[in-house]
Amino acid sequence: MSTPIPSHLSVHEINQHKLDVEYKHWIARLNFFEEEFDFIGKLVASSHFTQTEGLSEILMEIPSIKANNKEILEKVHSYRNNLDLYRECEDLECDNFYLNDHEKFRVVLEQHSASIRKFKKRVFKALGPGL
């Protein structure tokens, strides 16, 4: 879903708007991962699938994956303060500091998302024989 950018905003305000939208997207994505982990745990543990070594490993991994996701979610919530500080920027050096900081967070989130996708591929592969 795209959020329109009002035409009266300055470049700085447009950047703020984009960062806010991305921040909200990150929160939603991390919360959805949490729901997925719960669902995967219930699915893998269900009687519909013969418990294999691969499925047992997946069940044992879920708590640490959830803990890592929660830790990242807490960092993203804390990051909200940086977005508020960015609003106070009055020069290019300050803008660049917060934009670079945001980019670092984006990289962490993309790496985390990639590891979650890899984990889910393993889940689907392990469930495959039972389908």
Query: What is the pLDDT at residue 26?
Result: 95
Judging by beta carbons within 10 Å of its beta carbon (0-12, 13-18, 19+), is residue 44 exposed, middle or buried? buried
Low-confidence ranges of the chain (pLDDT < 70): 1-6, 129-131
Query: What is the pLDDT at residue 3?
Result: 66
Quote the DSSP letter at residue 129.
G
Query: Hey, how many other C-beta atoms are within 10 angstroms of the C-beta on 67?
Result: 10
Query: What is the pLDDT at residue 62?
Result: 94
Query: What is the pLDDT at residue 37?
Result: 95
Closest CA to 114 of 29, 51, 50, 27: 29
Query: What is the pLDDT at residue 129?
Result: 64
Quote the DSSP letter at residue 10.
-
3-state secondary structure of 120: helix
Query: What is the pLDDT at residue 108?
Result: 94
